[in-house]
């Protein structure tokens, strides 16, 4: 084992160098976020903080309501994930198990919606949301994203792999589709639901264009818009800006630690579909 | 007879139930996808006031303006340039890292995690961090260049450098996604093939280009299509880093569309741009699909 590791030393050295380069912006963020203002302004710049200066976090929270942004983003992402899990699983069940007239046609229409880029829909959607009085509201931030063709395909693919015998046995027992859906299909499809959930949570959390358009008040901003406000505060020192960035990055990194498997599955589900 | 009737009843029940299960999806798609698509087409032929109401018929004027005004063509050029800067570099870099971490050695899991990490970071967060790194006097990039004796680079303030800088940040941001896709592709190639390559005594580079690349071509093909489409839809990092400048050097199509629609409030002209963008993306997808798929090797 040790011998093999030594033989591969050049590979490890190259990988370590690459890893450092890829991680550097993140390391930079956290190390500056922990520096005192004097350290952050020193020249030549400090690479690492001399101690853990946590006052930056409370200072930046006093200047910009990042806690409120985090709450908004969390609420919006959770609502979108919940909505998509419901709408996608229902539609996926229909495509997988209920033979109805026009199934192929409707399925093709669903498939083709993936080709529509969001830029084409954004102006009419903006007009719709404004005319409904949904500007600066959670409804405006979430409702347009409550259904996704991607979610339907991902779940349908998974539902089709469930053993046929299970379904037939349930039908012989006299279970209706609603019972089968709720009592058999949903519980067995939990891994696929988790994949869709984590993937769409991150997607919604990272959304930029739409919240930028339909939120104006600070209290309704999501983190992505809030964080870009930090950059335009010219007077703010780096350690404060990056303390704010660190607060926003932390939930994403935690999601990555616990949800990497789901994220990978979500991304590769798209790849298989091609 | 009774059996036939019950079969008919079952079929009818299935029809009703099927559409009932689809109805939530259909409702959302109808309101926020199909209706807007049609509405965009209608808007693109209209003159609108800032409230989005039609005040006159424009005919093909918006489309004609796009191709004669120069600004739209400049944004198209900026987008193509941005695509050429980001897509090949992003895929090659991720491919190299995926090959290097594919070996069955201790510690590879940690590297997998590190190289996947950018996939979780948003364009906005990434752009704010890089904005500070790019700062001409206080930024770490120019400090680093100074350490190795190079002169500072005007990253975001020079029209020649700005597209390069934004691309650099974008390649970093997309690395996680590309790495995850390519790693999954490599895992899909069976161990037998890798073993037989070793037995044949093929060197690492020969086996790479003679065997690995053809076997991986469906994955590479998928990644190419998705990356090009993503590059054409870039917005967040441009809005934060350069606002389309300096001197329109980074004024990519979606940023141009955003300005036309939500700064100048010309929904008609902006809708025409959105539809052109849609057409380009559709064309690219189909073109790559039909032309490249013939050359792709499926196992």
Min Cα–Cα distance to chain A from B14, Å: 6
Using alpha carbons, select from B274, B234, B210 the residue that is nearest to residue B72: B274
B85 close to B99: Cβ distance less than 8 angstroms: no
**Residue B196 falls within a domain, yes or no?**
yes
Listed in sequence order, the residues at least 6 apart from B255 whose beta carbon sits closer than 8 Å to its beta carbon are: B75, B234, B235, B238, B239, B243, B244
Residues of the domain holding B244: 64-126+170-293
Min Cα–Cα distance to chain B from A14, Å: 9
Percent of chain A scored above 90 by pLDDT?
41
A122 close to B52: Cβ distance less than 8 angstroms: no
In this complex, the residue of B24, B127, B274 whose CB is nearest that of residue A123 is B274
Q: For residue B118, what are the β-bridge partners? A: none
Q: For residue B48, what are the β-bridge partners? A: B54
Q: For chains A and B, count residue pairs whose Cβ atoms are closer than 8 Å.
A: 249
Min Cα–Cα distance to chain A from B210, Å: 22
Q: Please provide the DSSP assignment of B181-231 as one string.
A: HHHHHHHHS-HHHHHHHHHTT--HHHHIIIIIHHHHHHHHHHHHHHHHHHH
Enter the DSSP assignment of B150.
P
**Residue B122 falls within a domain, yes or no?**
yes
Q: Do B254 and A147 touch (CB under 8 A)?
A: no
pLDDT along chain B (299 residues), means of 10: 76 90 94 93 88 81 87 92 95 92 84 91 92 86 87 88 94 94 83 65 66 82 87 92 88 93 90 93 79 60
Helix (H, G, I), strand (E, B) or coil at B55: strand
Which residues 84-103 in chain B show a CB within 8 A of chain A?
A: 97, 100-101, 103
pLDDT reported for residue A274: 35
A240 close to A63: Cβ distance less than 8 angstroms: yes
**Residue B183 falls within a domain, yes or no?**
yes
Listed in sequence order, the residues at least 6 apart from A224 whose beta carbon sits closer than 8 Å to its beta carbon are: A73, A205, A206, A207, A208, A211, A248, B122, B123, B124, B125, B236
Which residues 192-211 in chain B show a CB within 8 A of chain A?
A: none
> How far are the Cα atoms of A97, A107, A155, A273 from residue A162, in angstroms, in the given order?
11, 20, 11, 19
Q: Do A125 and B32 touch (CB under 8 A)?
A: yes
**Residue B176 falls within a domain, yes or no?**
yes
Per residue in A14-40, pLDDT tens?
A: 999 999 999 999 999 998 888 887 787
Reported for B89-94, long-range contacts at CB under 8 A and 24+ positions apart, including other chains, are B89/B167, B89/B171, B90/B170, B90/B171, B90/B174, B90/B175, B90/B178, B90/B227, B91/B178, B91/B182, B91/B220, B91/B223, B91/B224, B91/B227, B93/B171, B93/B175, B93/B178, B94/B174, B94/B175, B94/B178, B94/B179, B94/B181, B94/B182
**Residue B135 falls within a domain, yes or no?**
no
Gap between the Cα atoms of A29 and B117, Å rounded: 14
Q: Do A119 and B278 touch (CB under 8 A)?
A: yes
In this complex, the residue of B36, B229, B285 whose CB is nearest that of residue A124 is B36
Helix, strand, coil tally for chain B in percent (to 5): 75, 0, 25
Q: What is the dihedral of CA A117, A209, A149, A262, to 10 degrees?
A: 130
Min Cα–Cα distance to chain A from B12, Å: 8
- What pTM value is reported for the model? 0.88
**Residue B180 falls within a domain, yes or no?**
yes
Q: Do B119 and A267 touch (CB under 8 A)?
A: yes
CATH of residue B269: 1.10.3720.10
State yes or no: cis peptide before A44, omega within 30 of 0: yes
Q: Do B130 and A119 touch (CB under 8 A)?
A: no
In this complex, the residue of A19, A94, A268 whose CB is nearest that of residue B114 is A19
Gap between the Cα atoms of B26 and B23, Å rounded: 5
Question: B10 touching A, CB under 8 A?
Answer: no
Place of tokens 């500056």: A32
B25 close to A90: Cβ distance less than 8 angstroms: yes
ipTM of the shown complex: 0.88
**Residue B74 falls within a domain, yes or no?**
yes
In this complex, the residue of B22, B52, B128 whose CB is nearest that of residue A106 is B22
Gap between the Cα atoms of B126 and B8, Å rounded: 58
Question: B36 touching A, CB under 8 A?
Answer: yes
pLDDT reported for residue B194: 65
Q: What is the end-to-end Cα distance of chain B in Å, rounded? A: 51
The total of other beta-carbon atoms located within 10 Å of residue A40's CB is: 24
Enter the DSSP assignment of B289.
I
In this complex, the residue of B114, B123, B275 whose CB is nearest that of residue A22 is B114
Q: For residue B47, what are the β-bridge partners? A: B56
Min Cα–Cα distance to chain B from A67, Å: 16
Enter the DSSP assignment of A63.
H
Listed in sequence order, the residues at least 6 apart from B5 whose beta carbon sits closer than 8 Å to its beta carbon are: none
**Residue B102 falls within a domain, yes or no?**
yes
Q: Please provide the DSSP assignment of A220-231 as one string.
A: G--HHHHHHHHH
Gap between the Cα atoms of B218 and B222, Å rounded: 6
Total structural domains within chain B? 1
Looking at beta carbons, which residues of chain A come within 8 Å of B274?
Answer: 119-120, 122-123
**Which CATH topology does A59-273 take?**
MetI-like fold (1.10.3720)
Enter the DSSP assignment of B47.
E
Per residue in B150-186, pLDDT tens?
A: 888 888 988 999 999 999 999 999 999 999 999 888 8
The total of other beta-carbon atoms located within 10 Å of residue B198's CB is: 10
In this complex, the residue of A93, A99, A231 whose CB is nearest that of residue B128 is A231
Q: Do B120 and A253 touch (CB under 8 A)?
A: yes
Q: What is the dihedral of CA B14, B17, B22, B24, to 10 degrees?
A: 170
Min Cα–Cα distance to chain B from A254, Å: 10
Gap between the Cα atoms of A11 and A17, Å rounded: 10
Q: Minimal Cα distance from B51: which residue of A?
A: A127
Q: Where are the beta strands (DSSP E) in B63-150?
A: none
Helix (H, G, I), strand (E, B) or coil at B177: helix
Conformation bin of residue B287: beta by default, left when phi > 0, alpha when psi is -120 to 50:
alpha
Listed in sequence order, the residues at least 6 apart from A94 whose beta carbon sits closer than 8 Å to its beta carbon are: A100, B17, B18, B19, B21, B22
In this complex, the residue of B35, B138, B239 whose CB is nearest that of residue A124 is B35
Min Cα–Cα distance to chain A from B160, Å: 23
Q: Do B120 and A23 touch (CB under 8 A)?
A: no
pLDDT reported for residue A270: 64
Looking at beta carbons, which residues of chain A come within 8 Å of B40?
Answer: 120-121, 123-124
Gap between the Cα atoms of A41 and A43, Å rounded: 7
Using alpha carbons, select from A215, A203, A74 the residue that is nearest to residue A140: A215
Looking at beta carbons, which residues of chain B come within 8 Å of A250?
Answer: none
Looking at beta carbons, which residues of chain B come within 8 Å of A249?
Answer: 121, 125
Place of tokens 């946590």: A54
Rg (CA), chain B: 25
Question: B126 touching A, CB under 8 A?
Answer: yes
Using alpha carbons, select from A273, A8, A16, A2 the residue that is nearest to residue A151: A273
Q: Do A115 and B282 touch (CB under 8 A)?
A: yes
| Residue to substitute from A66, A120, A130, interface B, most B β-carbons within 10 A | A120
Helix (H) or strand (E) holding B81: helix B71-100
Q: Do A224 and B31 touch (CB under 8 A)?
A: no
Residue ranges for chain A with pLDDT beneath 50? 272-274
Encoding tokens for residue B294?
Answer: 């013939």
Gap between the Cα atoms of A136 and A212, Å rounded: 10
Gap between the Cα atoms of A30 and A34, Å rounded: 6
């Amino acid at each position: 084992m040790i011998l093999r590791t030594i033989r591969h030393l050049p590979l490890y050295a190259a990988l370590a160098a690459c890893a450092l380069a890829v991680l550097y912006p993140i390391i930079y963020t956290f190390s500056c976020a922990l520096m005192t203002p004097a350290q952050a302004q020193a020249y030549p710049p400090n690479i690492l903080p001399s101690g853990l200066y946590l006052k930056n976090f409370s200072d930046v929270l006093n200047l910009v309501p990042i806690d409120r942004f985090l709450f908004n983003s969390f609420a919006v992402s959770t609502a979108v994930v919940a909505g998509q899990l419901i709408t996608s699983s229902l539609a996926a069940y229909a495509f997988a198990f209920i033979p109805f007239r026009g199934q192929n046609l409707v399925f093709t229409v669903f498939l083709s919606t993936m080709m529509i880029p969001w830029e084409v829909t954004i102006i009419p959607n903006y007009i719709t949301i404004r005319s409904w009085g949904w500007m600066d509201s959670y409804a405006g931030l979430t409702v347009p994203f409550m259904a996704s063709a991607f979610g339907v395909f991902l779940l349908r693919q998974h539902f089709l792999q469930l053993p046929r015998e299970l379904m037939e046995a349930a039908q012989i027992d006299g279970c209706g589709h609603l019972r089968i859906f709720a009592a058999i299909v949903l519980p067995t499809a939990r891994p696929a639901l988790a994949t869709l959930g984590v993937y769409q949570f991150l997607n919604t959390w990272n959304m930029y264009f739409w919240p930028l358009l339909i939120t104006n008040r600070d209290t309704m901003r999501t983190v992505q818009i809030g964080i870009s406000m930090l950059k335009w505060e010219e007077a703010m020192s780096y350690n404060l800006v990056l303390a704010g960035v660190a607060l926003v990055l932390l939930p994403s990194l935690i999601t990555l630690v616990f949800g990497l498997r789901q994220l990978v599955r979500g991304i590769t589900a798209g790849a298989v579909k091609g | 007879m009774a059996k036939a009737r019950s079969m008919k009843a079952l079929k009818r029940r299935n029809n009703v139930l099927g559409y009932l299960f689809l109805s939530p999806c259909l409702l959302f798609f109808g309101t926020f996808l199909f209706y807007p698509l049609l509405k965009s087409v209608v808007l693109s032929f209209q003159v609108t006031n800032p409230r989005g109401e039609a005040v006159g018929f424009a005919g093909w004027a918006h489309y004609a303006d796009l191709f004669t005004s120069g600004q739209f063509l400049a944004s198209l050029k900026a987008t193509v340039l941005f695509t050429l800067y980001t897509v090949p570099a992003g895929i090659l870099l991720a491919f190299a890292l995926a090959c290097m971490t594919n070996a069955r050695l201790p510690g590879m899991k940690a590297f997998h995690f590190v190289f996947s990490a950018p996939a979780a970071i948003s364009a906005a967060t990434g752009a704010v961090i890089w904005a500070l790194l790019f700062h001409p006097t206080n930024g770490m990039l120019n400090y680093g260049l100074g350490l190795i004796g190079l002169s500072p680079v005007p990253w975001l303030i020079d029209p020649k450098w700005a597209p390069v800088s934004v691309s650099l940040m974008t390649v970093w941001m997309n690395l996680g996604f590309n790495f995850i896709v390519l790693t999954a592709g490599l895992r899909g190639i069976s161990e037998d093939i890798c073993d037989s390559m070793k037995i044949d005594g093929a060197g690492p580079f020969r086996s790479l280009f003679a065997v690995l690349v053809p076997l991986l071509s469906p994955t590479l093909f998928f990644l190419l299509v998705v990356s090009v489409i993503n590059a054409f839809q870039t917005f967040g990092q441009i809005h934060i880093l350069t606002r389309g400048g300096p001197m329109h050097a980074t004024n990519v199509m979606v940023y141009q569309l955003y300005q036309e629609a939500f700064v100048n409030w010309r929904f008609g002209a902006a809708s025409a741009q959105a539809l052109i963008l849609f057409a380009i993306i559709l064309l690219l997808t189909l073109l790559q699909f039909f032309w490249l798929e013939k050359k792709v090797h499926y196992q």
